[in-house]
Structure 1
């Protein structure tokens, strides 16, 4: 076996075997300079045969352009974020870029360090999912330093953050989910919101209340609980709400992960879903399809958000964003599964 195949081949190795200069090899691999078709084909064949792999760090230093985009997440253990990361990575690869992912674990210091150390060095632009638990002002400081930043998954397109973002209409998602329960005949509808009232799910919460008012149902704070976006919080909060409001026939949960907790809480509370209690949520993560019963949810356009986020970031990096600060996605849509059903008339009349 050729000793050079035991280690990664270099540009000099490829040049030696192809009978050309290292500069010619570099031009072929980067698609630059004037190189004959025959030479280009020979260099690429040798590079493939010798197992050449580009040194991305060296290329970044020479070209002063990183081949990577950065994605900052708050919590990679939330099932939504691996799905979103996969979609974003595929979108980046379509544009010849690699994705560098940082999980801040909801620590602001971690996000700040990531932006300071990675943005503009290992990556020429940064995508921040749900603004990464950082204040928008902190992201603006990064922008001022000349590092393009895009907020992915912004939830309130009518309230722009002042930073380029890709937004879906979370209020519409909340209205659609709640309207589904109303159409099934439910009037006593509770809510478990996976954030504080003014937190990240505030748009979904507003949509829930808008749908109730539109149907002539007065929203009641007694029927609402504010939790965190986790399975455990969804479980505990649902138990608390059902103890306080046993007459509820349906539950709106602002995100799938706490909704999965709500499903198990209802079962442990002795309720059959959906006969005794219908549960609807928002997002449509993969586990929502496999729960028992499968979760009725309003799907957000995850792949579209990822694709448009990458496109917007690349446009900002090239200076051709067209001045767009908010890129909107298609409207979320209802996915009917087994966790919702028409209101149980017998239970309603007995209450």
Structure 2
């Protein structure tokens, strides 16, 4: 049965005229109303009639890059590298494509809204960066949307994100579990047994995978995983600062802090300085990602280097059809342990 404009209006509880305004983009509509209409379009898989319907399998010169936070260097580095491949030589005759960076702010609804908009614009390619929301219902909705995009001729690449089976999307996944395990193994090898962990948001796959790697290293060394030594927060400096103060409140005798990313690690170091604790003489600190500022910290930060620019560039080439997809459509991107001055043997 064909879905009509009236069906979308009924689902969104607005008038057909409002649906038309949202889809045509020619009249101001309140943000909440607009998102409700786009959600109804997505749920009903509504396709415009007439000329637009006949062009449903065509693609434009538009390429969408979805990021959680463009102000975070983790996403900025990847987005820049992706865009460099998209707007460079190749693609259609004439070369250039229009790259649009879509900042979701970590919102599942905004992610779906952007995917809906890119589908309606018949985007040539879509690249989703970073971890996903760790929720089966949301994952199913995203998978359905990616499937519709690829079936309509859009190339979809996941960069640093778990695979989405049976969608046609190519996945370049980061080995977050392996990297976190190597990092914690390093601290254990130095003699640390009282390690605190500063996690990211509990609902993100990156958070879960990195914490799983940390816990695997503890288990392999016979160290009990004390839930009180893990504090969840955000992937930013402020969260690292606050979480470290909480860790020290819970266990003043900690000898090492493992941070889920480098920004959190910077906040941890600031909190330790405030408490009169030296890095690494009193407390060792380690991060993850190897963002540009990590090597310039004093002392330089021990971390796991992810090849963010290289992975982003590869994702861009695959999205533009200038590089073959990996076998099976999935490739694991491994990190490299960078041992620097912020980690050392525990205090006596």
Q: Do both share a fold (TM > 0.5)?
A: yes
Match of 2:282 in 1: 276
Aligned partners of 1:239 and 1:265 also within 8 Å: yes
Q: Displacement of 1:132 after TM fit?
A: 6.0
Whether 2:87 is the aligned partner of 1:80: answer: no
Larger Rg: 1
Sort the Cα spacing of 1:151 and 1:131 in 2 relative to 1 into closer, same or farther, 3 A: farther
Whether 2:204 is the aligned partner of 1:191: answer: no
Q: Using the alignment, how far apart are the partners of 2:119 and 2:139 within structure 1?
A: 16
Normalised TM-score (structure 2): 0.72
Whether 2:84 is the aligned partner of 1:90: answer: yes
Structure 2 unaligned runs (5+)?
A: 1-54
Match of 1:339 in 2: 342
1:109-188 aligned at under 5 Å gives the runs: 109-119=109-119, 121=121, 123-130=123-130, 133=133, 135-145=138-148, 146=152, 147-154=154-161, 163-188=169-194
Match of 1:324 in 2: 328
- Over residues 213-271 of structure 1, what are the superposed CA-to-partner deviations in whole Å (9 max), with x where a residue is unaligned? 22222221122212221211111011001111111101111111111111111111221
3-state DSSP class of the match of 1:283?
coil
Match of 1:228 in 2: 234
Match of 2:60 in 1: 66
Structure 1 unaligned runs (5+)?
A: 1-60, 346-351
- Over residues 150-193 of structure 1, what are the superposed CA-to-partner deviations in whole Å (9 max), with x where a residue is unaligned? 22102x57x96964311121111101111111122211111111
Normalised TM-score (structure 1): 0.71
Provide the aligned length of Structure 1 versus Structure 2: 279
3-state DSSP class of the match of 2:294?
helix
3-state DSSP class of the match of 1:177?
helix
Sort the Cα spacing of 1:309 and 1:97 in 2 relative to 1 into closer, same or farther, 3 A: farther
Match of 1:47 in 2: none
- Over residues 38-94 of structure 1, what are the superposed CA-to-partner deviations in whole Å (9 max), with x where a residue is unaligned? xxxxxxxxxxxxxxxxxxxxxxx9xx5433421011111212111111221223225
From 232, 256, 260, the equivalent of 2:262 is 256
- Over residues 193-214 of structure 1, what are the superposed CA-to-partner deviations in whole Å (9 max), with x where a residue is unaligned? 1121774311111111111122
Give me the CA root mean square deviation: 2.8
Aligned partners of 1:250 and 1:277 also within 8 Å: yes
Q: Using the alignment, how far apart are the partners of 2:118 and 2:286 within structure 1?
A: 39
Q: Using the alignment, how far apart are the partners of 2:296 and 2:116 within structure 1?
A: 40
Sort the Cα spacing of 1:344 and 1:323 in 2 relative to 1 into closer, same or farther, 3 A: closer
